A and B are shown apart, each in its own frame.
Chain A
Amino acid sequence: DADVTQTPRNRITKTGKRIMLECSQTKGHDRMYWYRQDPGLGLRLIYYSFDVKDINKGEISDGYSVSRQAQAKFSLSLESAIPNQTALYFCATSPGQDNRGNQPQHFGDGTRLSIL
């Protein structure tokens, strides 16, 4: 079983619809992140959360909202989807710094979202 699970894996929807992407993790990490990936732009941070009561905006938060329901669950919502939100979305978790001095982020396999 995957440590970081994203649902759905694929979604096609129409402009103006409300969409929720879900992320759950079994790694026991406090820190969770949402990114979007676009060709030629890499991954850009949308929102992040360092514990259940902590929510922070990232580089491109406009048009998105998040909910941290529990340590293991972090959801991303598009309240009224628009075509330029078509992208590949990734959830990630992190333990902070590990005992090797790394700050690893562990990614799910992504949700491919298309907005028509």
Chain B
Amino acid sequence: QQQVKQSPQSLIVQKGGISIINCAYENTAFDYFPWYQQFPGKGPALLIAIRPDVSEKKEGRFTISFNKSAKQFSLHIMDSQPGDSATYFCAASYGNKLVFGAGTILRVKS
């Protein structure tokens, strides 16, 4: 049973477009929601994160939107670039332990 459900599985976006990846969770004990970015042959790296007392967090071109009542959160990548092509994982944490979504493979076409 996937505790964190992520969609879509894959995404193709034109350069300059907006990439949107969605996640949903069930366990209300989760208290920290990070997004990780993974390039081929590398381990995941923390991209941006949010806590449930905040509805939105922006860092550069990356924004997390968080809806606590719906138990959903999403990653928006503005002005998507070919260098953003990677696999993106949402995650949820309690007690400093992460539960990951299944991942989204993003391809940005130039």
Residues of A within 8 A of B (CB): 4, 31, 33, 40-45, 48, 50, 58-59, 90, 92, 94, 96-97, 101-110
Contacts and interface: CB of A to CB of B under 8 A. Distances in A.
B interface, over-half SS: strand
Nearest to A92: B43
7 tightest Cβ-Cβ pairs between the two chains A and B: A107-B43, A42-B100, A43-B100, A42-B102, A104-B46, A42-B103, A107-B44
Contact of B43 (A50, A96, A109): A109
Contact of A96 (B9, B96, B99): B96
Contacts of B43: 4, 90, 92, 107-110
Interface residues on B, range: 20 to 34
Given A42-B6, A42-B89, A103 B103 contact: no
Nearest to A104: B46
A96 to B, nearest CB: 6
**Max chain A C-beta neighbours (<10 A), residue from B43, B46, B89:** B43
B62 to A, nearest CB: 14
A17 to B, nearest CB: 25
B34 interface: yes
Contacts of A102: 32, 34, 46, 49
A95 B6 CA distance: 27
B46 A43 contact: no
Given A40-B102, A42-B102, A58-B97, A101 B51 contact: yes
Contacts of B102: 40-42
